[in-house]
Structure 1
Amino acid sequence: MLLAATLAAFLPLLDNGFVNWDDQYALTGNDRLAAPGVLSWAFITTLMGHYQPLSWLAWSGVTSLFGVNPLAFHAASLLGHLVNTALVYLLSARLTGSSGLEGGTRRIAAFAAAIVFAVHPMRVEVVAWASAFPYILSLTWLLATTLAYLRYCDSRAPAGRRAWFGLALGSYAIALLSRVTAIGFPLVLVVLDVYPLGRVGAGRRDDRPRRHDGVRWLDSFVEKVPFALVALAAAFVESRSREMAPLEEIGIGSRLTMAATAPLVYLGRTLLPVGRSPVDPLPIAPHTEWAPLALGLAALGGLTFVCWTLRQKWPALPAAWTAYLVLLAPVMGLTPSGQTATADRYTYVPGIALSLLAGAAIVRIESLARLRRLSVVAIVGLAVVLGAATWRQTRWWHDSIALWTRAADLDPRNDIATFNLAIALDEAGRKKEAIGRYEQTLALIPDHEPARRALTSMRTERGLALTKGGRFAEAATDLRAALDARPDDLALANALAFALAQIDRTGEAVAVLKQSLARHPDNDELAHNLARVLATAPDSAVRDGALALRLALAVRDRTGGRDPRVLDTLAAAYAATGQREPARRIATEAAALARQHGDLDLAAEIVRHALGYER
């Protein structure tokens, strides 16, 4: 029933494709996954800014069996999430048993915790985004670590204890080799020693016989040293793989603001998972926000004080709160990397603590209210409400256009969304919409060079196509914008001048060509085209025969007089200065040269031009 509810919530996933949010680098465009030597590559690469060799190998296995098929990758993520859901149920059942719950109440609490974890909308990013699979794989082994540690605590035989301890330590190493998601996990084990295991302190509230021997605080910390050493090694390797933002880019104040507010933001999303954007970008101009920083610190301090005050009455609360903060600490914002300020995937591991707390809270509320079946009703209600929200949110990850349209609609200032949406629209052939989204991105970040380059290329392409189709006014608008971005692009300058000349905006055409010629004074094509416009402009205020003649003569001399088009322009320049005889003679020479080259259409065009010199 638990797995069926999870599968139903994520059912749209099986129809989803890849998205242009790392998938193109990690999966679809990563030839190393199917190449020989992938085993050694996986353990040395820092591709994507993370050290995750076992995840690369898992993806390589999927690629070898099914190719780069989105269904296969999504199925792997969903299968892993189903396994984690089952493990959360087992872990919750074990921990609630240690806290004093028994029988049916214990199973209800475990089911509630597992269903909250499984179908909460905050799991969508990890499950629906193929590139987030490492979080799933890492949690699988982290849960195995915890279960093995609990067996170690229960075991009395020395050989059994050593075996379970070794299994827990090995599983933790595998978890970190899948993705470094739980650096603070050794401290979580200390928290478990306090509550609900009651190995140290006064974590147990019942008088039942202990299933394990108690230890001193110091012994508990010393016992976790091997785990801490593994965590430190993983943290070192990960730090060498990540490209963290420098302090000059994101200052201490901005980092403290993010760190103080992130736990509260995630907690708020957990309690009210509505109106969620798939991506929460870093501020365009990060700075210290004193009000959020002060309020965040005050709220964190207040919640921590409340949890501490209730430690005797409900020890699960401070235990869960501490575990949540410890697991979340590495991704709260003190060491920012990437483009996002917060991300739901960062809560995939810390969310376990909140899910376990939710399961225990549901049965405790039923007990306090003395309403039978209240927990069952609550679980069914949560499964339906959260599952429906997850089903809907999973559909947003169907493809890049759906994903980024949702994000941009929720936050029009989300430059990550507008830029990636523009790319997706461009690839889908929806050029006009793509141009609009690139322009929106540049309005948000004027120095966004990838957006500027893409927009310029698209406007160039469209401008040239419009010119070819005879839509010169529209072409001029696009080509003007493209030339402003690439003033040294000679082809753009010539194309824009041509389009302008065709709609009798010869003054603008002359200005464009003069500006470009000033930047490239030795370019014959620019000089030739400028001479042509100056010699043939219908507007006498624009026409300048003398300058046209100087330019045309210079180009003729540099080209050796073997280009019939240059000679045709020279003839027009002579005519513009009133020199009819040289104009007719040069035109005749140009027409003959065109015939020699086999270009009869050009020859006929030159003859038509020469007829005008007779008048």
Structure 2
Amino acid sequence: MVLAVLACVVFGRGIGNDFVDWDDTTAIVYNPDYNPPSLDKLGHYWTQPFRNFYAPVLYSVWGIAAYAAYDEYVPPDITSVAAAWRLAAEPFHVLSLLAHIGSTVFAFLILSRLFERRMVPAFVGAVVFCVHPLQVEAVGWASTLYTPLSVALGLAAWWTLLAALDRRDKADGSRWKWRYVLATLLFATSLLTKPSMVLMPLIALFAEAIVRRRSRVQIKRSAWLIAPWIALSGAASWIISSYAQPALDVVRPPTLQRLLIAGDALSFYMGKVVWPVGLAPDYGRTPTMVLEGAMPWLGVSICLVVAVMSVVIFRANRAAACGLWIFLIGGLPTLGLVPFDFQLYSTVADRYAYFSLFGIAMVVSAIAARLSYQRSDNLWRWGIVTGGILLTLCVLTIRQLGFWRDSPTLFARCLDINPTSRVGLAGMLAWKSDHKQPDEAIVYGRLAVAHHHGDYRLCHRVAGVLMQLKQWDEAIAMLERAAQLAREPDAKADAVNTQGVAFALSNRPPQAEQRFRAALALQSDLHSAHRNLAALYLSQNRLADALGEFEQALRLDPANPQYRGAVAQLSADLRRMTATPATKPAP
């Protein structure tokens, strides 16, 4: 109860935050499956990935939350990205907070078992896990619910497994088997929420041997029970590596260089654990940036030093050493050893350290347990120091949560910490453009293209702002660049189609028609290109040609009322124009 209240006090202000125009919009706000909400729309999340991410439990939970978030009477409001689709952000932020509370509570329960029911050390460790500023991104960002929710389910599975193992050792009939089945179901649900919890079975077995000091026979029995979990983790790893999250545009350095990237990421997280200031969603630590840095080997060197220290510490404090090892390996799937999509922005991100902080919580609990044996006068001193550190963490966390209150605040924070942030520049470009401020938007757009010239999406967005400013030639050139950079045919077709719009708006019909035809050659089912051709023909009074294009668009998008209405109207107009007069005119 105390931990839940503490989490609400520290993270409660985040419930009033808006959605941010970075993943929240595409994953939640503008997702037609939630607008209006319907359980019938959620089945496809279980059969295929959505936006290259397979997390059916996550999307199903959001679908249920959308019932509480949906309000058909919300008026349009340009200051809120949610208003246009009638979704309130509060229910989604409440979900994130509840998931974080669950993670914290189960972290405490696990630590209390690992430290033989010593509640005070377990409580101190759980508080660090709860209020550390590195947790803000995972809790304050609505579209990363998968992180605290998957960890909450994973830790619940671990705690239930510990209870099952203890009951089995006490020869408690078959009751332990039901606990084991429940633990397995919880772990499978965790993987279906976010597949990156794949290392938790090995960590649980590791803790059995190192912290709980189980006998060889007990460890062997535990290993047999954990083996199905490892098989589930193997299936999840296959999904991550080859099915749901292809990192096609990420640099793929040789294996030895990936070790340098992973070492840099680990050393970065160590620094932020000790000194959690200057936190931002995009640090810009891409593989290229790390490898081209002055000392790419420095991170690996720091990790080796910490690993050696943990071995030295092992004899004096096995639990503290185990906590360090959990911290080092907990985030292994997102250290860069296997390329992943976000490395286009940065290998490191605060949310990737969420589960790893359980290792830090174990270290803190181990130290607190050791200090509890000291004299009472020394305990007061250590209590004051610990209280001061925890209070500082709470203040920093509350402050950091304020940066997530809305899109412009978040993107401005990105640029304060990392002036070349792709997230910050692209975000400010989009926000200024959407809010009819093209003169300010283009400033961010030019900076974004200058620093990240290989991103076709940025080029396309900048071209849109140039079109708002009626700088047609520069917009057309930028769209040509976007088409050249795009790898997928549909992305190329989209850029070429928009190029045709720019030609049409700048009163160059022949070039516009040629680009629309080129877009259809790249993607034959691009109904918007047929629509644009129809509009072009209408401007030239070519009604029959316009009707043909609208009919093609309607064939590709039969539910579109605009196309259906245009076909009906043009058909009627053409019939009237070709109709024979009913009576002959008088001589």
> Does 1:280 pair with 2:293?
no
| Residue number among 327, 331, 341 corresponding to 2:330 in the alignment | 327
Question: Once the two structures are superposed, what CA deviation does each residue of 1:461-488 show, in whole Å capped at 9, x if it has no partner?
Answer: 223xxxxxxxxxxxxxx45543554689
Question: Once the two structures are superposed, what CA deviation does each residue of 1:296-339 show, in whole Å capped at 9, x if it has no partner?
Answer: 33322222122112212111122112222332111111112223
| Residue number among 58, 75, 78 corresponding to 2:97 in the alignment | 78
Question: Once the two structures are superposed, what CA deviation does each residue of 1:399-439 show, in whole Å capped at 9, x if it has no partner?
Answer: 11111111012111112220122101211223222111001
Identity %: 22
Question: TM-score, structure 2 length as denominator?
Answer: 0.73
Query: Residue 54 of structure 1 contacts residue 177 of structure 1 at CA under 8 Å; is this kept in 2?
Result: yes
Query: Residue 173 of structure 1 contacts residue 230 of structure 1 at CA under 8 Å; is this kept in 2?
Result: yes
Secondary structure of the residue aligned to 2:379 is coil
Question: Once the two structures are superposed, what CA deviation does each residue of 1:17-53 show, in whole Å capped at 9, x if it has no partner?
Answer: 1112211121111122424533422211311322211
Counterpart for residue 202 of structure 2: 187
Alignment of 1:493-572 (within 5 A): none
TM-superposed CA distance for 1:490, in Å, is: 9.0
Secondary structure of the residue aligned to 1:48 is coil
TM-superposed CA distance for 1:378, in Å, is: 3.4
Count of residues in correspondence between the two structures = 471
Q: Which segments of 5 or more consecutive residues in structure 2 lack a partner in the other structure?
A: 71-86, 481-495, 515-539, 541-587
TM-superposed CA distance for 1:72, in Å, is: 0.8
Question: TM-score, structure 1 length as denominator?
Answer: 0.70
TM-superposed CA distance for 1:368, in Å, is: 5.1
Partners of 1:55 and 1:138 lie apart in 2 by: 9
TM-superposed CA distance for 1:382, in Å, is: 2.8
Query: Residue 9 of structure 1 contacts residue 391 of structure 1 at CA under 8 Å; is this kept in 2?
Result: yes
Alignment of 1:179-578 (within 5 A): 179-200=194-215, 215=217, 218-239=220-241, 240-245=243-248, 249-283=252-286, 285=288, 288-289=291-292, 292-339=295-342, 340-365=346-371, 367=373, 371-463=378-470, 478-479=471-472, 481-482=474-475, 484-485=477-478
Query: Residue 121 of structure 1 contacts residue 389 of structure 1 at CA under 8 Å; is this kept in 2?
Result: yes
Structure showing greater Rg:
1
Partners of 1:398 and 1:493 lie apart in 2 by: 40
Alignment of 1:91-110 (within 5 A): 91-97=110-116, 106-110=118-122
Partners of 1:223 and 1:493 lie apart in 2 by: 66
Counterpart for residue 191 of structure 2: 176
TM-superposed CA distance for 1:140, in Å, is: 1.4
Counterpart for residue 120 of structure 1: 132
> Does 1:139 pair with 2:145?
no
Query: Residue 164 of structure 2 contacts residue 180 of structure 2 at CA under 8 Å; is this kept in 1?
Result: yes
Counterpart for residue 556 of structure 1: none
Query: Residue 250 of structure 1 contacts residue 287 of structure 1 at CA under 8 Å; is this kept in 2?
Result: no
Partners of 2:479 and 2:361 lie apart in 1 by: 54
Partners of 2:50 and 2:504 lie apart in 1 by: 43
Amino acid at match of 2:30: G
Describe the shift of the 1:494–1:337 C-alpha distance in structure 2 as closer, same or farther (beyond 3 A).
closer
Question: Once the two structures are superposed, what CA deviation does each residue of 1:366-406 show, in whole Å capped at 9, x if it has no partner?
Answer: 64586132343234323321111111111111111111111
Counterpart for residue 24 of structure 2: 23
Q: Tell me whether 373-382 or 178-187 shows the greater mean CA deviation.
A: 373-382
Partners of 2:353 and 2:414 lie apart in 1 by: 19
Amino acid at match of 2:214: R
Partners of 1:114 and 1:407 lie apart in 2 by: 29
Counterpart for residue 5 of structure 2: 4
Describe the shift of the 1:305–1:244 C-alpha distance in structure 2 as closer, same or farther (beyond 3 A).
same
Amino acid at match of 1:5: L
Query: Residue 39 of structure 2 contacts residue 64 of structure 2 at CA under 8 Å; is this kept in 1?
Result: no
Amino acid at match of 1:175: S
Secondary structure of the residue aligned to 1:312 is helix
Query: Residue 408 of structure 1 contacts residue 418 of structure 1 at CA under 8 Å; is this kept in 2?
Result: yes
Q: Tell me whether 145-154 or 354-363 shows the greater mean CA deviation.
A: 354-363
Query: Residue 281 of structure 1 contacts residue 416 of structure 1 at CA under 8 Å; is this kept in 2?
Result: no
Question: Once the two structures are superposed, what CA deviation does each residue of 1:33-84 show, in whole Å capped at 9, x if it has no partner?
Answer: 4245334222113113222111111111101233232011001111221222
Describe the shift of the 1:496–1:222 C-alpha distance in structure 2 as closer, same or farther (beyond 3 A).
closer
| Residue number among 131, 142, 148 corresponding to 1:130 in the alignment | 142
TM-superposed CA distance for 1:287, in Å, is: 6.9
Counterpart for residue 542 of structure 1: none
Counterpart for residue 61 of structure 2: 58
Amino acid at match of 1:315: R
Query: Residue 126 of structure 1 contacts residue 132 of structure 1 at CA under 8 Å; is this kept in 2?
Result: yes
Describe the shift of the 1:133–1:248 C-alpha distance in structure 2 as closer, same or farther (beyond 3 A).
closer
Query: Residue 69 of structure 2 contacts residue 90 of structure 2 at CA under 8 Å; is this kept in 1?
Result: no
Secondary structure of the residue aligned to 2:442 is helix
Partners of 2:363 and 2:106 lie apart in 1 by: 16
Partners of 2:278 and 2:289 lie apart in 1 by: 24
Partners of 1:442 and 1:434 lie apart in 2 by: 12
Partners of 1:217 and 1:89 lie apart in 2 by: 23
Question: Once the two structures are superposed, what CA deviation does each residue of 1:534-579 show, in whole Å capped at 9, x if it has no partner?
Answer: xxxxxxxxxxxxxxxxxxxxxxxxx9xxxxxxxxxxxxxxxxxxxx
Partners of 2:230 and 2:503 lie apart in 1 by: 63
Question: Once the two structures are superposed, what CA deviation does each residue of 1:128-165 show, in whole Å capped at 9, x if it has no partner?
Answer: 00111111111111111111121122112241332232
Secondary structure of the residue aligned to 1:360 is helix
Amino acid at match of 2:24: D
Partners of 1:69 and 1:52 lie apart in 2 by: 22
Describe the shift of the 1:107–1:446 C-alpha distance in structure 2 as closer, same or farther (beyond 3 A).
same
Secondary structure of the residue aligned to 2:347 is strand
Describe the shift of the 1:160–1:24 C-alpha distance in structure 2 as closer, same or farther (beyond 3 A).
same
Amino acid at match of 1:94: R
TM-superposed CA distance for 1:440, in Å, is: 0.8
Measured on the aligned residues, the alpha-carbon RMSD in Å equals 3.0
